[in-house]
Amino acid sequence: MRRAASVLGLVLALSTVTWAAEPVSAPTAGAIPATPATPVTRGTSFGGSSSSSSLAQALHDAECHAASAALAAAAQTKRLDAESQRVQAEAASAWSALAPTVAGFLRLPNAQRGPVIAEVESFLSKARGAATEDSGGFETVTPTAPVGCAAETLPVRASSRSLTLPEVAKAEAALAALKTPFGVDASPVAGTPTTSGAWSGSQGVKVAQIPRGTFTMGSPTSESERQSDEAQVTVTLSHDALMMTTEVTQGLYRAVTGTNPSRFSSCGATCPVEDVSWLDAASFANALSVKDGLTPAYAISGSSVTWTRGANGWRLPTEAEWERAARGGQATVYAGSSELDAVGWYSDNSGSSTHAACGKTPNAYGLCDMSGNVWEWTWDWYAESRTGALTDPAGPASGSARVLRGGGWYFDASVARVARRYNFDPGYRGNALGFRLLRSLP
């Protein structure tokens, strides 16, 4: 009885600890199955007998049950410690590897951080709290099973825990998501590949981070089909930006506006929206910004649109931002290659229709369809001449036509060149005209 009392006393003592592990419903592997928790008193009948041997067996079973419960709790705590330490180490490694990615997103206000990043941050905070608790000292108790009970002896850390096994698993899942990085390169070095990932806004838009820096805009005189308005100039962009990896799709446009103006609506939700004017695109940018809790970039009054430069909402890229993104730090003729068939849909391969986003190889920044599929509206009013070294250029203050870039499914390869410029009245709509948006980073 003394030994049973000591083990049962240990279980009662452990029950006062705030255990973070899941409830134990069965003893550990190899333990004798637990008997029902029936009070054991002298003279109680077991299996129709009141013999002393039956009573001794019942007492022994009670001891085994108590030891198994204590050992199972110990095993759960040990598992929690091991899993927590493993995931903390994994988090530290992932955080280091993804530092450029995370840094760009953590520059945003807390309410706009991605849920995946927030999940990992929460886990690390709790992990630090658990470590602080443990560093204050804790008692290590070793429950020992009675002779004849098949159970392993394990140390029990008798301390309160801040983490639970489900939380550890949740953090691990978040880390797995982070291993598919989004918007990687935050440095001003041109040409570093950038992959894409999910933005934290209401519609799950995928973005790539376009690094600030200096590049050459326009085409060299040796480029075939070069136009007179493609003179090369040196351009410096002073801010990173998050650009949609695809043109705005029919599905996204419908989700935000409730409508789908596309003439190729049968192409499907993942195909680019088209038949949209420049004014339609600006209005959509504001609507998406509102849905995502961002400050709209434009003040719109009829056909008059004013850009609020300090706003963090979605907007059309400037012509320089578009070309910087399309080039991806490379000197290829098209966005991602000097062979258009590899990266874009145009008159020779489109079958006279638009196609689903990212059906061709993305460029070095992870952007799809920057050459071909549909033309993309930019912010700038069109001007033929460009001279000197420019910083954050945004085109003339006024004009009669807005710049389009990228070419489309109906047009030949020459107009899908990265340097090719086109322009239309901002109210014009066509089934080869679409757009993509970006957001400025601080």
Rg of the chain over Cα atoms, rounded to whole angstroms, equals 32
pLDDT of residue 200: 55
CB 217 within 8 A of CB 322: no
- Phi first, then psi: what are they for 265, rounded to 5°? -60, -30
pLDDT of residue 58: 64
- Which residue stretches of 214-345 are H helix? 250-257, 278-291, 319-327, 340-343
pLDDT of residue 362: 94
What domains lie within the chain, and their CATH numbers? 2-139+160-178 (no CATH), 197-440 (3.90.1580.10)
Tens of pLDDT, residues 314-356: 999 999 999 999 999 999 999 999 999 999 999 999 999 999 9
CB 56 within 8 A of CB 22: no
Residue numbers of the chain with a pLDDT score lower than 70: 1-200
- Which residue stretches of 220-277 are H helix? 250-257
pLDDT of residue 359: 94
pLDDT of residue 201: 73
pLDDT of residue 16: 32
- In the 8-state DSSP scheme, what is residue 416? G
Two tokens, residue 313: 């909402």
Tens of pLDDT, residues 74-92: 666 666 666 666 666 666 5
| Measured distance between the N- and C-terminal CA atoms of the chain, rounded to whole angstroms | 71
